[in-house]
Amino acid sequence: MENDVRKDEVQILIVDDDDAIRDVLLHGIRHIGIDCYAAESGLAALEILQRHEIDIVVSDINMPGMNGLELTQQIKAQYDCDVMIMTGFVGTFTYEEIIGRGASDFIQKPIRIPEFIARIKRIIAERDTRDERNQALTEIQRNLGKFKRAMDGIVQAMSLTVEFRDPYTAGHQERVAQLACAIAAHMGLPQDRINGLRMAAIIHDLGKITIPAEILCKPGKLLPLEYELIKNHVQAGYDILKKIEFPWPLADIIYQHHERLDGSGYPNGVEGEQIHLEARIIAVSDVFETIASHRPYRPSLGINSAVEEIRANMGRLYDPVVAEACLHVVEEEGFSFGKRKSPAKPPTHSVKAL
């Protein structure tokens, strides 16, 4: 019976202004090999707690100066201790009040030592279970962190794969992601949703890896058939990602990022709220970045041109709330695109950005 107690690790503090009760409880606990301290008041107990790592405090309620419930509140606010309350005045304090103040257990005086020891052992077992659960949760969080870093790495690798095929627009997806996240933050989206948006934005052109290089790198205007092939990159991106169980609907967001509010976009001409909000945010960010950034076949048209495009077509092509947020972060907050090195040397022909 005694061997199931962690004698070498547990430390208990008895708090009671009655010397006889303290001595009886100390003797009972030390008899089973558990380290134990004693205090005659709440203030004395707090001094001991400052000097020793106490696991369980057993405290009377009615004591001069600071009663047991007040002591319990201070203990729970400062220390990782369980508290057992003992009292002979059962009618004065309800069980709900005692537990509500943070106590783990309640025992009535006069105390029977066998029952007292059994309850101490139960609290120790619960502490062990709680510690094991906390360790398990810590390990789960550590593994989730590893999974997230791995997922981020995979998404970054996908993004780089697109840039190796289309190096003249290197950094485009990253810049779109920067603006999309700034817009989403201004709109008040929760951080987890912004994380998903960033992942979708950073690989929104993933499907371009299926397009022949001679079309991607063709200088000048594309033929109608070539343009149709380029438009197919949203379907290709969806097909690549649709069977991967991300925490967010990345495949659907990427599939819709060229849809427009009035139904004039592609691939399905859906409109309004039929388009994922994240896709509507990427649509605005994509257009803004394309106009504002330099391209091999033309210099940058400038921030002003990008602003004019968004303002002129908000409510028709672009979600008005998203467009307003975009204009705010650019004009009021001074948003600017960060710089990143190209992953590869550009080819000899210019790339037509879409």
Write down the pLDDT at residue 226. 85
Closest to 216 measured CA to CA, from 151, 273, 168: 168
User: Do 125 and 238 belong to one domain?
Assistant: no
User: Do 123 and 257 belong to one domain?
Assistant: no
CATH number of the domain within which 78 lies: 3.40.50.2300
The answer to whether residue 274 sits within a structural domain is yes
The answer to whether residue 160 sits within a structural domain is no
Catalytic annotation on 339?
no
In whole angstroms, what is the distance from residue 98 CA to residue 94 CA? 6
Question: Which residues are paired to 56 by β-bridges?
Answer: 12, 82
The answer to whether residue 92 sits within a structural domain is yes
CATH number of the domain within which 323 lies: 1.10.3210.10
The answer to whether residue 344 sits within a structural domain is no
Q: Taking 70 as the threshold, does the pLDDT of residue 298 lie above it?
A: no
The predicted-structure confidence for 135-175, as pLDDT tens digits, reads as follows 888 888 887 777 777 777 777 787 777 777 766 666 889 99
In whole angstroms, what is the distance from residue 132 CA to residue 233 CA? 49
User: Do 29 and 173 belong to one domain?
Assistant: no
Of the listed 76, 109, 208, 221, which one is catalytic?
208
Structure tokens at 67: 């009663």
Q: Residue 350's pLDDT band (boundaries 50, 70, 90)?
A: very low
Closest to 83 measured CA to CA, from 112, 54, 51: 54
The answer to whether the predicted template modeling score (pTM) of the entire model surpasses 0.85 is no
Which alpha helices (DSSP H) does 166-190 contain, by range?
Answer: 172-187
User: Do 298 and 185 belong to one domain?
Assistant: yes
User: Do 213 and 288 belong to one domain?
Assistant: yes
User: Do 74 and 220 belong to one domain?
Assistant: no
In whole angstroms, what is the distance from residue 157 CA to residue 341 CA? 15
Number of domains in the chain: 2
Write down the pLDDT at residue 3. 45
User: Do 236 and 94 belong to one domain?
Assistant: no
User: Do 171 and 132 belong to one domain?
Assistant: no
User: Do 189 and 87 belong to one domain?
Assistant: no
> Which H, E and C letters describe 28-41, residue by residue?
HHHHCCCEEEEECC
The answer to whether residue 42 sits within a structural domain is yes
Closest to 35 measured CA to CA, from 60, 65, 5: 5
In whole angstroms, what is the distance from residue 4 CA to residue 6 CA? 7
Mean pLDDT over all residues of the chain? Answer: 85
The answer to whether residue 327 sits within a structural domain is yes
Rounded to 10 deg, the angle between the 172-187 and 191-202 helix axes is 160
The predicted-structure confidence for 96-139, as pLDDT tens digits, reads as follows 778 888 888 888 888 888 898 998 888 988 888 888 888 888 88
Instruction: Find the domain containing 180 and state its range.
Output: 166-331
The answer to whether residue 94 sits within a structural domain is yes
Last residue of a domain, one of 80, 115, 136: 136
The predicted-structure confidence for 238-283, as pLDDT tens digits, reads as follows 999 998 888 899 999 999 999 999 999 999 999 999 999 999 999 9
In whole angstroms, what is the distance from residue 287 CA to residue 17 CA? 76
The answer to whether residue 161 sits within a structural domain is no
